[in-house]
A and B are shown apart, each in its own frame.
Chain A
Amino acid sequence: MSTTASEARTESHLSADEIAALAHPKPSPKARIGLIASYVGMAVIVLYCIVPFYWMVVSSLRLPTEGLSTELIPRPASTENYVAVFGPGNNFGRSLVNSVIVSGTTTILTLLFGIVAAYALARLKFRGKGGVLWLIMACSMFPLVVLLPPLLKMFSSTEPFTWFPYWINTYQSVILPGLSFGLPLAVWNLTAFFKQLPVELEQAAMVDGCTPGVAFRKVILPLAAPGVVTTAIIVFIGSWNEFLLALTFLQDPSRQTATVAISKFTGSTGFDTPYGTIMAAGVLVTVPLLIAVLIFQRRIVAGLTAGGVK
């Protein structure tokens, strides 16, 4: 509406200054209050999200003896906690490696299966599609704890599963059940991404003589690469943050993932909870994720809103 009005005035020969003034109207007092309020609101949101995390970072930078200090800035600042994290009792370095192995494998497997399935769901018409969509949705909803009793029994070769290999403390004991939440997440995200690509792309490829398979490989897959990367990050973060399965199946400290290792930190000094060390480990586990999230934030937000996030 405002554009048509200014266009009409342009025809009635306004000076350039007047046009500029119209393009940037002076805000009314009410609008100015609204603007300030929106900035205040945004500041409140950012503080809400950041302050507890700030507290974690600050606490990790104190002296180990001052874990419970309530000073806003650590005095003196110290990186001793970060050294202590990698102390011999904690197995933290090893647990990071374990986490990378578990999350990496889960992500790769999920993508391998998820990409083809998502393409079928996004593009092809077939009977039973609704059922498949519901099945995948249901799979992302059910509580993980349902899997624990039978799997714990099976993986520990308890009767009547004496025929089953002893899988406690193995990577596959977390990776395979982990697919039950990773795969629906990936399929869901990728389906949304594939749907955004215009069908005409494949149609053009097929007119040029490609089979649907070739059209998918040569046309769609390269274009969907950003979506695949986003999905990989979301699945990786979900798997990296997984706690219940790892806590149950990985009991040997040398096999534990980082989340479990942190939850089991005990102080080398006395009976106090070693908050400084725990916070340092927490920061170390979180920062790589935060960097990835900040780099890909636009895409991740788009991916998250595709639904199905655990």
Chain B
Amino acid sequence: MATATAESSLSTVQGDGHKRKKNALSDGQGRLAWMLLAPTLLVILVVAGIPVAMSIRESFFLSNTGVDPSTGLIASGEKFVGLQNFAAIFSDQDLVRGNWGSIGRFFNAFWNTTAITVVCVIAETIIGVAMALIMAKAFRGKGLVRAGILVPWAIPTIVSALMWKLIFDANGVMNKILGTQILWLADNVPAFWAVFIADVWKTAPFIGLLTLAGLQTIPAEVYEAAKVDGATTWQQFVRITLPMVRPTLVVAVLFRTLDTLRMFDLPYGMVGPGKYHVETLSIFSYLEATQSRYGPAAAYAIILFLYVLLIAFLFVRILGADLISDPDLKKTKKKKKTDGDASDAASPTALEMAGGAH
């Protein structure tokens, strides 16, 4: 339906619109919509589209180094090197010792990024869902809890990094509580877990908030019916809560996953740059770029970008993360599929969650 209206509004002159006007709100909208969207799309093109394209180009180039034999001056400019920046990832020239034994620095950063994302997102999801369940049950004091839960979110990540740096200091309070003498922030395995704890602290409440919004869309009648049928609390959780909160949770987990994949501030602030046990792809690429090794930096950033795209794609395809959730679009999609997908329409989604939270 939406397609048809758009087509007619594009093909007809706006003047004769009142003759066959079915819906005052959907006439001549195509042109107006694009006019309203033009500034935003232009800005996105300039500040994101073009730089990303430039970054892709950059990844095939390498800055000239050394002395230019023809002029005797220090070489400047750059040369096209094809896939050399990508191929260099597999060379054994830049071996480092991190969590994964002696491997190339890129792969070290890649596996660090992957590992921290997996462990953080799993822990955040479990803690976040637990928080949401507790908050959903609460009778009084919801405002207080909500205020508290926003504290970790509002603290700038770099400030929270320095805060945890103090807590994890060798002479700090964490060692005192645990009664240990661990050097948390040296370039070692405990540093990885220190970063893990700091990230989970900051972002689990966020998953809790999103999940709570999803929980509040579940009608109480469903639970009452389950109780009448004699379902235990655990059965209610597994059979009702989880399936019904799943669309919300999948979107929340997707956001967290993509965010953790580009982690920079926490390891940089807590442990420092060039520490191989916590070096993520973002940090590695940043360090390369600031040392004027633009080509390799771009290559690593592009790989990270593709990695992020792949994960997002898998979430949408396999887990059915509904990010867009526009009812108009759903209608057209359904028309194309010829028969409707009932579960698709029933699920609360990212955009609709905003309404549910009020």
Contacts and interface: CB of A to CB of B under 8 A. Distances in A.
Interface string A259-300: 100110000000001010011001001100110011001101
A24 interface: no
Contacts of A302: 354, 357-358
A46 B156 contact: no
A105 interface: no
B264 A150 contact: no
A38 B138 contact: yes
A244 B264 contact: yes
A121 B32 CA distance: 11
A237 B24 CA distance: 39
Interface string B139-166: 1010111111111111111111011111
Interface residues of B, number: 120
B163 A52 contact: yes
B145 A147 contact: no
B68 interface: no
Contact of A176 (B47, B172, B294, B312): B47
A35 interface: yes
Contacts of B165: 273
A26 interface: no
B150 A127 contact: no
Contacts of B154: 237, 286, 289-290, 293
Contact of B44 (A139, A145, A279, A304): A139
Interface residues of A, number: 117
A171 interface: no
A42 interface: yes
Given A146-B55, A306-B354, A243 B10 contact: no
Contact of B157 (A38, A145, A241): A241
Contacts of A177: 47, 51
B289 A248 contact: yes
Contacts, number: 358
Contact of B286 (A135, A145, A241): A145
Determine chain B's interface SS by DSSP, over half rule: helix
Nearest to B288: A149
Interface stretch (B96-104, B117-125, B322-330): B322-330
B126 interface: no
B305 interface: yes
Given A1-B224, A38-B137, A308-B255, A149 B301 contact: yes
Contact of B29 (A126, A160, A286, A309): A126
A212 interface: yes
B355 A153 contact: no
B262 interface: yes
A163 interface: no
A262 B155 contact: no
Given A124-B32, A301-B150, A145 B285 contact: yes
Contacts of A153: 58, 294
Contacts of A206: 24-25
A117 B36 contact: yes
Contacts of B92: none
A72 to B, nearest CB: 9
Nearest to A242: B156
A297 B163 contact: no
A126 B354 contact: no
* Chain A contact surface mostly: helix
Given A52-B167, A279-B166, A243 B157 contact: yes
Nearest to B254: A141
A286 B159 contact: yes
B179 interface: no
A297 B206 CA distance: 13
Interface in B265-289: 265, 268-269, 281-282, 285-286, 288-289
B48 A126 contact: no
Contacts of A263: 158, 162, 268-269
Given A50-B151, A52-B167, A262-B162, A142 B324 contact: no
A46 B144 contact: yes
B354 A275 contact: no
A68 B20 CA distance: 76
B25 A305 contact: no
Contact of B141 (A42, A119, A128): A42
Contacts of B139: 35, 38
A159 B135 CA distance: 56
B303 to A, nearest CB: 10
B76 A305 contact: no
Given A141-B258, A148-B301, A152-B294, A126 B33 contact: yes
Contacts of B48: 139, 142, 147, 180
A143 B351 contact: no
A240 B156 contact: yes
Given A149-B58, A301-B209, A125 B351 contact: no
8 contacts: A134-B324, A144-B282, A145-B285, A151-B51, A192-B351, A262-B158, A279-B162, A297-B147
Interface of A: 1, 34-35, 38-39, 41-42, 44-46, 48-50, 52-53, 55-56, 59, 67-68, 70, 112-114, 116-117, 119-121, 123-130, 132-139, 141-154, 158-160, 176-177, 179-180, 183-184, 187-189, 191-193, 195-196, 199, 202-203, 206-207, 212-213, 237, 240-241, 243-244, 247-248, 259, 262-263, 273, 275, 278-279, 282, 285-286, 289-290, 293-294, 297-298, 300-310
| Closest 4 pairs between A and B when the two form their complex, measured CB to CB | A150-B54, A192-B354, A41-B134, A117-B40
Given A42-B144, A199-B25, A278-B166, 17 more contacts: A42-B138, A45-B208, A123-B25, A124-B36, A136-B40, A138-B312, A142-B305, A150-B51, A159-B76, A160-B78, A179-B47, A195-B351, A212-B32, A244-B265, A282-B155, A305-B353, A305-B354
